[in-house]
Structure 1
Amino acid sequence: MSAPDVFAPATLGPVRLRNRTVKAATFEGRTPHGQVTDELIDYHLAPVRGGVGLTTVAYLAVAPEGRTHREVIVVGEDTLAGLTRLADAVHAEGAAIAGQVGHAGPVANGRSNGVKAIAASGMPSPLSMQMIRSATEADLTRVTKAYVAAARLLVRAGFDVLELHMAHSYLISSFLAPGLNRRKDRWGGSLENRARLARQVARAVRDEVGGEVAVTAKVSTSDGFPGGVTTETGLEVARLLEADGNLDALQLSGGSSLMNPMYLFRGDAPVAEFAAAMPLPVRLGMRTPVGRSFMKTYEFHEGYFRDKALQFREALSLPLMFLGGVNRLETMQQAMADGFEYVAMGRALLREPDLLARMQAGRAVEGVCIHCNRCMPTIYAAGGTRCPVALEISGSPASA
C-alpha cells in the first residue's frame, strides 16, 4: 500500500482532522496571570492559518503544584471561559485543538508556584532551591482525580484532543524513571509498579470522557540521562498503555526538562541566554561545572528520533505521532512511509507559522529554522515564546 498523503484528511480517535500535521506543545509564554489571553489565541491561530491540522496548547496543569511556574494555566472553572474562547477561535479556522494535560512534578518551580513540588521520590529542586517531597498515596489519588476533572472541563471548553503528558521527567515520567523513583511501595521497584500511575491516569481519563474526544499521551523514546527512561523501558510502557486500550495515539518524544533538556531539542545550547532569563540563584548555579553540564550540546540532524521511533512503530499497532527535527517535506513523507500516522512540529512552525501551507502549495520543501534554540529562553521573556532570528530579520516576531 502507498503511504498516505500527510496533507490529506485523517481521523484521530473520534476526531476528524483536515490533515496529519500537529503543532507540538511548546510553552507559549502568553499567560502572565494563568489565563487565556488574546496573545495566546493569536499564537495558535498563526500556525492554524498556516495549515496545521491540530494545534496543541501547552502545559495545562491539573493542580496548582503541577505548574512548571506560576504563569501556567490551571484547568478549572475560572479558566474555562478563556479556554472555550481559544477552542472556538481554532475551530473557526477549520483546525482541531488539543490540550496538553499534565502535572509537572519535579519540573515544577515550587517557589514560583507558592506550593512545594511533588515527585516519585524526594529530591532537591534546581529550579526553586527547595526540597521536592515524595508524593503520598493521598497525593496520587488527588492528582488522578484532578486529571479527570481537567479532562471534563476541557471537553466542556470544546477541545478535541487531550494529550496526557507522560514524558520529560514530569510527575508521571518521574515514576517511570528508576533514577528518580526510589520508592519501596506499590508505586516503585518493578516496571509494572512504576507504570501504575501512567496507566491509572489514562484509564481514569478515558472512563470520564469515553469517546467524546481523542485521548493521547506524550511518551519518551529515551530520557537521555543515567537512571532515566530508556528506549527499552519506554517501549514496555507503551506496550502496557496499548494493551490497556485507553489511548487513541502516542506522541513519541524524548529528553528530560529536569535532567537533560537539550536531548529533546538538539542543535546549539543557548547557555548564556538561558542563564540571563533565570532568577539569580539559578543563574549562579548555571555557572558551575554541574550547571554547565545541564545544557549539553547534541548535533542536530533531521528527524533525529527516527531510529528509536521506528522501534516503537515495529512493536505497536497504536497510531503514533512522529516528532523531533521535522523541517523538510521529505521527512514528513518518510514518516508516512515508515508507518507513522501523524507528524508533529515545533520550532519549524515557530520560525515560519505558514510553512505547511507553502509546502502544500508547492512553494516550499523545507523550513529555514537554524536550530540555534534561542527560542527556548524566550518562554520567560516579555512578549512570550518567539523566534529571535525572525524578529531580527523582520523587526516583528514571526509567531505574533
Structure 2
Amino acid sequence: MTQTTPRGDDVPDVLAPAKLGPVTLRNRIIKAATYEGLSRDSLVTDELIDFHVRHAAGGVGMTTVAYCAVAPEGRTDRKQILWRPEAVPGLRKLTDAVHAEGAAVSAQIGHAGPVANPKSNGAPALAPGRHFHLTTTSLTRTATRDDLARVVKGHADAARMAVETGFDAVEIHLGHNYLASSFLSPKLNHRTDEYGGRLENRARLARDIARAVRDAVGGEIAILAKLNMDDGVPGGFWLDEAIQVAQWIEQDGSLDALELTAGSSLLNPMYLFKGDAPLREFAAIMPQPVKLGVQLFGKYKLRAYPYKDAYLLDDARQIRAAVNMPLVLLGGITGKHVMDLAMREGFQFVAMARALLREPDLINRITAGEDARSLCIHCNKCMTAIYGGTRCVLVTPTSPRDTRRDATATS
C-alpha cells in the first residue's frame, strides 16, 4: 500500500476546515497533549480549563487534554485526571468552555504502565515484566492477563465517558513506553506468552485497546492514537516495526488518524523533544536522592539532541509511504512554512506543543496573514514547570481574557 504525495491543487490548506473522522475541525492544527500539571485530586480545575481556553481562543482547530488515566495505578502522578464519575462535572465544564471558543477538544487516554509513579499512586506500576524504575526507585509488577483485560476495558469505558462529557475525540496513548508502548518494545517486553516474543504478540495489547475503543464509541467521536516510531534506545521498538504496526492498525479500521511520536519517558525522555537538556532545572525540582542522581549522572540520562524544524519528518515519511490513513505530524512545527511542508508531504494534520506554550495566539496571527514563526528557543525549561503548571518560563502567563484581547488586536 503506497500513499501518493499530493501535488499542486491537491495539497490541503492547513488553515481551512477539515474532517477528522466524524468531526469537522476549523483548521488542521492540533494542540498536542502536554501534561499540564493543573489537575488536583484527579479532577479538573479552573486553571486547567483556562489553559485549554487560551489555546482554543488562540486559534487551534483542536486542543488535547493530557493526560487522562484509565486506571488508578496508570497515573504518572496521583493528581492526574482519572476517569471516574466524580470527574464528569469538571470535564463537561472544560469541553463547554473550549467549544465556546470555536475549537474542538480531545482527551488523551491511556495507562502509564512502567512510567507510572507507584509511590504517588499508592499502587505498583504495571509492566510487561519486573523492571526497576530509577526515577521512582521502585520495581514494577508484571501485568497479568486479568490486568490487561481490565486496562483494555478501562480504555473503552473512558472513551464512553469522553462522549458523555462532550469531547470531540480521544487520543489513545501508544507511545513513550507507557503500558501499551512498553509491550511493543523488545527491550522491555521479555514475555513468553501471547503478549511477548514476535511483533504480532507484542502489538496485541495496543490493537486490543484501539478496537475496544472503536467498539465502545463507534463513529460518535474521532479516535486518534499516538504511536512511537522509535523508542530512542538500543534494542527498543524502532521504525521497521512501527511501520508494520501502523499497517495492522489501518487494517483493523479502529482509528481515524495516527499521531507519530518518538522517545521513551522511561529510558530516554529527551529524545522526543530535541533542543537543550535543562539539567540544572530538572535537578532543582527533584527530591533526594533523585536530585543528586541528576546532578551526577543527568548528562548521561537526559541527553541533548540537535533541534531542527519538522525533526520527526524523515521517519514519519516512512509510515506515510506505507499507509493511507490520515496521519498527524508532530515535532518542530513552528510556523506556516513547516505546516505547508507537512501538507505537501501528505500529512493531513499537524500537532504543536512548545510553540503554543510560548505563544498561545500564534495560530490567530498566522490566520491573520502574519509571517509569524514561533519564538520558542527549544530550551525545554517548560518541561520542568509541570509541577506548578506547564508554561513557557520565558514569558509571564496571561489569562484567557488577555489572550482573546490580544488575538482581536492582531486580526
TM-score, length basis structure 2: 0.94
Would the aligned equivalents of 1:330 and 1:365 in 2 still touch at CA under 8 Å?
Answer: no
Residue of 312, 315, 325 corresponding to 2:332: 325
Separation in 2, partners of 1:261, 1:72? 19
1:397 CA drift (Å): 5.2
1:193 CA drift (Å): 0.2
Separation in 1, partners of 2:228, 2:75? 20
Q: How does 1:120-199 map to 2 (within 5 A)?
A: 120-199=128-207
Q: Does 1:388 align with 2:396?
A: no
Cα deviation digits, residues 341-370 of structure 1 (max 9, x gap): 001000000000000110111123311000
Amino acid at match of 1:189: G
1:398 CA drift (Å): 8.0
1:217 CA drift (Å): 0.5
Q: Which residue of 2 aligns with 1:55?
A: 63
> Structure 1 residues 398 and 124 mapped into 2: Cα distance closer, same or farther (>3 Å)?
farther
- Identity of aligned pairs, percent? 54
Cα deviation digits, residues 251-270 of structure 1 (max 9, x gap): 01111111111110000001
1:284 CA drift (Å): 2.0
Would the aligned equivalents of 1:351 and 1:398 in 2 still touch at CA under 8 Å?
Answer: no
Residue of 226, 229, 232 corresponding to 1:221: 229
Cα deviation digits, residues 228-258 of structure 1 (max 9, x gap): 2101111111111111111000001111111
State the secondary structure of the residue aligned to 1:180: coil
Amino acid at match of 1:385: T
State the aligned residue count: 393
Would the aligned equivalents of 2:78 and 2:121 in 1 still touch at CA under 8 Å?
Answer: yes
Would the aligned equivalents of 1:175 and 1:197 in 2 still touch at CA under 8 Å?
Answer: yes
Separation in 1, partners of 2:129, 2:322? 31
Would the aligned equivalents of 1:386 and 1:398 in 2 still touch at CA under 8 Å?
Answer: no
Would the aligned equivalents of 1:30 and 1:37 in 2 still touch at CA under 8 Å?
Answer: yes
Cα deviation digits, residues 17-73 of structure 1 (max 9, x gap): 111000000001111322111110110011111110000000100001000111101
Separation in 2, partners of 1:140, 1:47? 35
State the secondary structure of the residue aligned to 2:321: helix
Q: Which residue of 2 aligns with 1:309?
A: 316
Q: Does 1:230 align with 2:251?
A: no
**Unmatched segments (≥5 aa) in structure 2:** 1-6, 404-411
Q: Which residue of 1 aligns with 2:276?
A: 268
Separation in 2, partners of 1:365, 1:236? 37
- Aligned-residue RMSD, C-alpha: 1.2
Cα deviation digits, residues 179-203 of structure 1 (max 9, x gap): 0001011100000000000010111
TM-score, length basis structure 1: 0.96
State the secondary structure of the residue aligned to 1:90: helix
**Unmatched segments (≥5 aa) in structure 1:** none
Residue of 70, 80, 95 corresponding to 2:78: 70
Runs (4 or more) in structure 1 with deviation over 2 Å come to: 396-400
State the secondary structure of the residue aligned to 2:295: coil
Amino acid at match of 1:223: D
Separation in 1, partners of 2:398, 2:281? 18
Would the aligned equivalents of 2:15 and 2:28 in 1 still touch at CA under 8 Å?
Answer: yes
Q: Which residue of 1 aligns with 2:288?
A: 280
Q: Which residue of 1 aligns with 2:349?
A: 342
Would the aligned equivalents of 2:50 and 2:399 in 1 still touch at CA under 8 Å?
Answer: no
Separation in 1, partners of 2:334, 2:171? 23
